[in-house]
Amino acid sequence: MATPRTPRAAVGAAPKTLCIDIGGTGLKLIVLDSKGEPLNERARIATPRPATPDAVLAALAPLIDAAPAFDRVSVGFPGVVKDHVVKTAPNLDEGWAGFALGAALQKKTNKPVRVLNDAGVQGYGVIAGRGTEIILTLGTGMGCAIFVNGIYVPNVELAHHPFKHGRSYEEHIGKKALEKVGKRRWNARVREVLDVLLPIFNPDVVYLGGGNAKKLKGELPELVKVTDNVAGLLGGIALWSY
């Protein structure tokens, strides 16, 4: 299993970062010191349904209020994000389109906020910063992020590209597929996806994260590494270091 790395702290400062991971199934939150060490136990609650912006922010509010003091906020969001504004949220609610999540959380916390696609945040928590590195997150859907020599290629939405038998990648290996076909066949499907992606992108490393990555069994290609889901939170501190 790949160990999430602790990104370098901001130069000349020791800020505390509130890291929030918004998922289709759960909302997670932790505060990290400048070295990436947790200052509280990770808090997690189920994502409300319907997962509208108001409902999600209302669910996060008591967790934020109960968290230790922090200086800035990092958010991983499951969709396309540009300039801290949500453009798509395929596993949440259509009301997210155009929602200024960064501004809303800045108003709530009175702290600076950065928002990025959740796979990108997870990538920042594990990448070595050399060559081409790909992160696939296996959760409610399928997230994807690509880094080239440590530089993030934003909002690669591979999940919704056609893959097989009229199904998208997400429909092939997302949570609904796992529940429908069972763990054994789902494991085989994940390997099918890797067999397609590896000769296309020729990456140096592929990291598999997300809540369902722990359900993978058996050997994987040598350059494929399973990473702990906590990387989705640890990566939040790195958003301020690049």
CA distances from 223 to 55, 220, 232 (A): 40, 8, 20
Question: Using one digit for the tens of pLDDT, what is the confidence trace for 5-31?
Answer: 444 444 346 899 999 999 999 999 999
Residue 188 and residue 164 in one domain: yes
DSSP-derived secondary structure for 210-242: STTGGG--S---TTEEEB-TTHHHHHHHHTT--
Residue 173 and residue 215 in one domain: yes
With 70 as the cut, is the pLDDT of residue 65 above it? yes
Residue 64 and residue 47 in one domain: yes
Do the domain assignments include residue 2?
A: no
Do the domain assignments include residue 51?
A: yes
Do the domain assignments include residue 3?
A: no
Residues constituting the chain:
242
Taking the model in full, what pTM does it have? 0.88
- Domain count across the chain: 2
Do the domain assignments include residue 151?
A: yes
Residue 222 and residue 136 in one domain: yes
Residue 208: which domain range? Answer: 128-226
Do the domain assignments include residue 70?
A: yes
Averaged over 226-237, what is the pLDDT?
A: 81
Residue 222 and residue 165 in one domain: yes
Residue 33 and residue 112 in one domain: yes
Q: CATH number of the domain that 180 lies in?
A: 3.30.420.40
Single-letter amino acid, residue 157: E
Question: Using one digit for the tens of pLDDT, what is the confidence trace for 158-202?
Answer: 999 999 899 999 999 999 999 999 999 999 999 999 999 999 999
CA distances from 43 to 62, 96, 167 (A): 11, 23, 34
Residue 41 and residue 105 in one domain: yes
Do the domain assignments include residue 67?
A: yes
Residue 140 and residue 49 in one domain: no
Do the domain assignments include residue 111?
A: yes
Using a pLDDT cut of 90, give the percent of the chain over it.
81
Residue 107 and residue 152 in one domain: no
Residue 165 and residue 107 in one domain: no
Residue 22 and residue 111 in one domain: yes
Residue 57 and residue 137 in one domain: no
